Amino acid sequence: MNREDFDILKTNIIYFDNGATSFKPNIVKEKIMEYYSLYTANAHRGDYKNSMIVDQKYEETRRKVKEFINAREDSEIVFTSGTTEGLNMIVFGYFKNVLKKGDEVLLTESEHASNILPWFVLAKELGIVIRYIPLNENNEVTIEAVKNSITPKTKVISLAHITNVVGDLRPIKEIAEIAHDNGILVVLDAAQSIAHKKIDVRDLDVDFMAFSGHKMYGPTGIGVLYAKFSLLDKLKPLYYGGGMNAIFTKDGYIELREIPTRLEAGTTNIEGIIGLGACIDYLNMIGMDNISKYEHELREYLIDKLKKLDFIEIYNENNKGAIVAFNIKGVFAQDTAVYLDKYNICIRAGNHCAKILNNVFNVNNTCRISLSFYNTKEEVDLLINVLKNSRNIYNEIL
Amino acid sequence: MDSNLKRSIIIDNYQNPVNRKREDNNDKYEKINTRNVSCIDNLDLYINLKDGIISDITFEGEACVISIASTSILINKLIGKSINVALEIIDNYLKMINEEEYDETLISDLVVFDDVSKQPSRIKCATLTANGIKKYLMENK
């Protein structure tokens, strides 16, 4: 649906790699162009009209984000460069200052590198212990497994909302309830869920959350860190410089600004912030519930068609995200991706930045289709036809 | 070489590769891994170097058709060669992939990959093993 909003779709590309990044609707590009052609200025700086327009748009976007995820305060929203930066700020700006040797962090083996590597580094620095919540036979996190993994030393549970390989949706609300009963904080990596379902941070009751703009039809290089006010207020800046200080004197005295400003040092990605505001308006116009419903139906349709092909192995039939992992039996994932590219069909092959998840499907590398609302049943039909004709795949790709 | 013939040589080497086996418990072999950061191919190479001569190379792992076939053809070509001759073969092969002038007589069958440069995403696949062996030979020269 809404295909007419995306100029790039006129190039007849079939884009099934939305988990990597999404296309941008024309309105996002137009709003970014307006910033450059009509009112370029820095934010929080000038006393002239254009600067005030920028300030207004900047803070307007913060409010839009706040409403989009149902945070309590505008000040709980920090602009970042993306999920990776957000997660690193959470780990090194907050947890580095509160965790002690022997404290435990719970992750899973299907997390993205960005929700594992910062914790690995912190574990080396502080001597905290990383433990993995075991996954069930569908590679999902169950409440039972979370309960069994918690020990008196557990201080944080850090999970993806939807994983980028398996596409499973985690029961975050229930996990947060158990976590909080045990005095444990919850970090949510929403990179793969933010564009696909309505997220309500108050309902989920997560303590920290990070996501990227570019996976939700916004520009690259912009993202959001959310945290409950009292926690965000204790998060120490990783960068110091312009815009974030209130006073400093030559003897080294520094007084910082309030949150979120003190966590946005230097000139931020203003065009990205304006683009993010435009894409939130756009998503609200379509409706997140409509998007979820449409993508769910499209996934069912795709699974149904793929299941009829006996030479295709599907690895995550029962998961709920917009992701389908599969292989042509006996064909290396990359060869399948190169073959589909001949027909202008973009999919991802590989281990998808979840390198410790090896063998979760009993294969190291899979083909991944990640759907968007602008994908259609007709595109799925074309994919199926191309797959049906893949008998001579090597003749075509060599 | 005719493109159908090239294709059939590549497919044959992919489906029936030379020396595709592990030599983990054989101390005559040294194991090197070719894992490449920008590519999902992941091959282990087992090299048996004796008195400056490559007496054997085997491999195992998960990789694409170009990677497996180029490994098969290349190791078949290198077995029995001295380090210097092997390096010369590898260098000429890499020159071909990079669209530079090269000596066709030195690399014989490896010319089946002379079109790879037209597919930039496949260059890594075609050079993975060659670069791995080259690095090992340079270090053991």
Q: What is the pLDDT of residues B41-56, one digit of tens each?
A: 788 999 999 999 999 9
Chain B contact for A328 (CB, 8 A cutoff) = no
Cβ of A398 within 8 Å of Cβ of B6? The answer is yes
Q: What is the mean pLDDT of residues B15-22?
A: 91
Do the beta carbons of residue A73 and residue A63 sit within 8 Å? no
Residue of A nearest to B69 (CA): A398
Write the CA distances from A385 to A134, A203, A325, A379, integer angstroms. Answer: 38, 43, 18, 10
pLDDT of residue A391: 86
Residues of A within 8 A of B119 (CB-CB) are 338
Q: Decide if pLDDT at A164 tops 90.
A: no
Burial of B121 (0-12, 13-18, 19+ CB in 10 A): middle
Residues of B within 8 A of A398 (CB-CB) are 6-7, 10-11, 65-66
In angstroms, the separation between the Cα of residue B81 and the nearest Cα of chain A is 29
Q: Across the A/B interface, how many CB contacts are shorter than 8 Å?
A: 38
Q: Decide if pLDDT at A360 tops 70.
A: no
Chain A contact for B62 (CB, 8 A cutoff) = yes
Q: What is the mean pLDDT of residues A310-323?
A: 89
pLDDT of residue A321: 82
Q: How far apart are CA A364 and CA A351, in angstroms?
A: 6
CATH of segment(s) A3-16+287-392 = 3.90.1150.10
Chain A contact for B6 (CB, 8 A cutoff) = yes
pLDDT of residue A359: 55
pLDDT of residue A45: 72
Of A324-333, A351-360, B52-61, the poorest mean pLDDT is in: A351-360
Prior bond of A152 cis (ω within 30°): no
**Residue B117 banded pLDDT, cuts 50, 70, 90:** confident
Number of domains forming the structure of chain B: 1
Q: Decide if pLDDT at B37 tops 70.
A: no
Cβ of B14 within 8 Å of Cβ of A338? The answer is no
Q: Decide if pLDDT at B80 tops 70.
A: yes
Q: How far apart are CA A72 and CA B15, in angstroms?
A: 60
**Domain ranges (residues) in chain A:** 3-16+287-392, 26-285
**Residue A353 banded pLDDT, cuts 50, 70, 90:** low
**Residue A139 banded pLDDT, cuts 50, 70, 90:** confident
Q: How far apart are CA A79 and CA A51, in angstroms?
A: 18
Cβ of B41 within 8 Å of Cβ of A334? The answer is yes
Q: Which residues of A are catalytic?
A: 353
Q: What is the mean pLDDT of residues A168-174?
A: 95
Write the CA distances from B50 to B25, B29, B45, B79, B129, integer angstroms. Answer: 17, 10, 16, 11, 20
Which pair of structure tokens corresponds to residue A259? 């949150």
Q: B50: domain range?
A: 3-139
Of A78-87, B33-42, B68-77, the poorest mean pLDDT is in: B33-42
Cβ of A365 within 8 Å of Cβ of B62? The answer is yes
Chain A contact for B78 (CB, 8 A cutoff) = no
Mean pLDDT estimate for chain A: 94
pLDDT of residue A362: 59
Burial of A253 (0-12, 13-18, 19+ CB in 10 A): exposed
**Residue A355 banded pLDDT, cuts 50, 70, 90:** low
Interface of B with A in 85-124 (CB under 8 A): 119, 121-122
Architecture of domain A26-285 in CATH?
3-Layer(aba) Sandwich (3.40)
pLDDT of residue B1: 80
Query: Which one has a higher pLDDT value, A167 or A130?
Result: A130
Which one of B12, B15, B65, B66 would you mutate to disrupt binding with A, by most A Cβ within 10 Å of its Cβ?
Answer: B65
Q: Decide if pLDDT at A44 tops 90.
A: no
Interface predicted TM-score (ipTM) of this complex, two decimals: 0.77
Q: What is the mean pLDDT of residues B87-114?
A: 92
**CATH code where residue B34 lies:** 3.90.1010.10
Q: What is the mean pLDDT of residues A136-151?
A: 93
Q: What is the mean pLDDT of residues A179-198?
A: 97
Report CA dihedral (A318, A319, A321, A324) to the nearest 10 degrees.
-70
Cβ of B40 within 8 Å of Cβ of A395? The answer is no
Torsion angles phi and psi, residue A13, rounded to 5: -80, 145
Query: Which one has a higher pLDDT value, B109 or A222?
Result: A222
Q: For residue B43, what are the contacts with CB-CB under 8 A and spacing of at least 6? A: B33, B34, B35, B59, B60, B61, B62, B63, B67, B68, B71, B128, B129, B132
pLDDT of residue A20: 94
pLDDT of residue A180: 97
pLDDT of residue A208: 98
Q: What is the pLDDT of residues A10-37, one digit of tens each?
A: 999 999 999 999 999 999 999 999 999 9
Q: Of A231, A215, A344, which Cα lies nearest the Cα of A283?
A: A215
Q: What percent of chain B has pLDDT over 70?
A: 97
Write the CA distances from A162 to A48, A74, A110, A150, integer angstroms. Answer: 44, 25, 10, 21
Q: Decide if pLDDT at A214 tops 70.
A: yes
Do the beta carbons of residue A15 and residue A26 sit within 8 Å? no
pLDDT of residue A72: 97
Mean pLDDT estimate for chain B: 90
Q: What is the pLDDT of residues A362-375, one digit of tens each?
A: 567 889 999 999 99
In angstroms, the separation between the Cα of residue A334 and the nearest Cα of chain B is 6
Q: What is the mean pLDDT of residues B122-139?
A: 92
